[in-house]
Amino acid sequence: MEQAVDIGTARKHFRVDDLLDIHHTLLEKTSEAPYAGIVRSDQNWIGGRGLSPIDATFIPPPENRVRDLLDDLVAFVNLDDLPAIAQAAVAHAQFETIHPFGDGNGRARRCLIHVILRRHGLTPHLVPPVSVVLATNARRYITGLVDFREGRIDDWIGVFADATAAAAAGAATRLRAQIDELLDDLIERAGSPRIDSVARKIIRGLPAQPVVSADTAASQYDVTHTAARSALNRLEKTGIVVPTRVGRRRDREWNSDELFRLLDAFEHDPGQANGDNRDRPATSPTRPPRQQG
């Protein structure tokens, strides 16, 4: 996410190519790599029986319209006379409506939110989980997208603004406190290593670098490869980190299972971090509503 957002904010003028680069970065090392950075050349749809769009939940614009629509979207992103939240809300909904890629549209549209927020200088060092909070109340999110497509844009912007406020001031703050508590516990269980030790730096760096190797740790903390590997081996023995690939030692990587469980729990139910478990419909938050008209 950080790398993709950096691509989008590296230039003052945002381009369609930047959007394609973001999509390529998000998908290049996944099973969806054949779709990475490529605008769809076929009609796609969501829902239904799969073989035909006749029963689809939503049918995006035809493939021959996508390029022009992306040009229009990017021109909108480059406007500098709009409130940041309203601009991000409209761009998010319009991107979802265009659905320009064969796969990975959800990841790309989440990045687009943060491209706009960073271009306005609102989130220079943080990626607040706006999309995660939107997904907390899937019914309201889907209704908001219907409102946008039917011209009730202010209603959709209100939904988006509420989610942004919750992400910045509620859920993210509580998640940060939970992560800090976990890191303090990991340090204690690791034997309270010195403040300037490689082991302590690795633990403190887990939220920003949750998968770490001896090479990445050596580069990040300016130590030798041997020192980094020794620290990781000690942390593995105390159960602080675990190897991601059992049996391979030359290019071994480690991660904190406990940190990933905490992040997974937050993603599946950010209301736990918000202290709010109301209205949790089972409807998928990523499924767009039926296009009207």
Per-residue pLDDT of the chain (293 residues; tens, 9 = 90+): 777 788 878 877 899 999 999 999 989 888 889 999 999 999 998 888 778 888 888 889 999 999 999 999 999 999 999 999 999 999 999 999 999 999 999 899 989 999 999 888 888 777 777 887 887 788 888 899 889 999 999 999 999 999 888 887 766 677 888 999 999 999 999 999 999 999 999 999 998 888 899 999 999 999 999 999 999 999 999 999 999 875 556 678 999 999 988 887 776 665 544 444 333 333 333 333 333 33
Beta bridge partners of 212: 254
For residue 229, give every residue at least 6 positions away whose Cβ sits within 8 Å of its Cβ, in sequence order, or none: 214
Dihedral angle sign, alpha carbons of residues 286, 5, 87, 85:
positive
Q: Residue 256: what residue type?
A: S
Is the distance from CB of 194 to CB of 204 less than 8 angstroms? no
Is the distance from CB of 210 to CB of 260 less than 8 angstroms? yes
- Of 91, 141, 153, 148, whose CA–CA distance to 116 is shortest? 91
Q: What is the pTM of this model?
A: 0.69
CATH number of 2-127: 1.10.3290.10
CATH of 175-265, one of 3.30.70.260, 1.10.10.10, 1.10.600.10, 1.20.1250.20: 1.10.10.10
Residue range(s) in the chain whose domain bears CATH number 1.10.10.10 = 175-265
Residue range(s) in the chain whose domain bears CATH number 1.10.3290.10 = 2-127
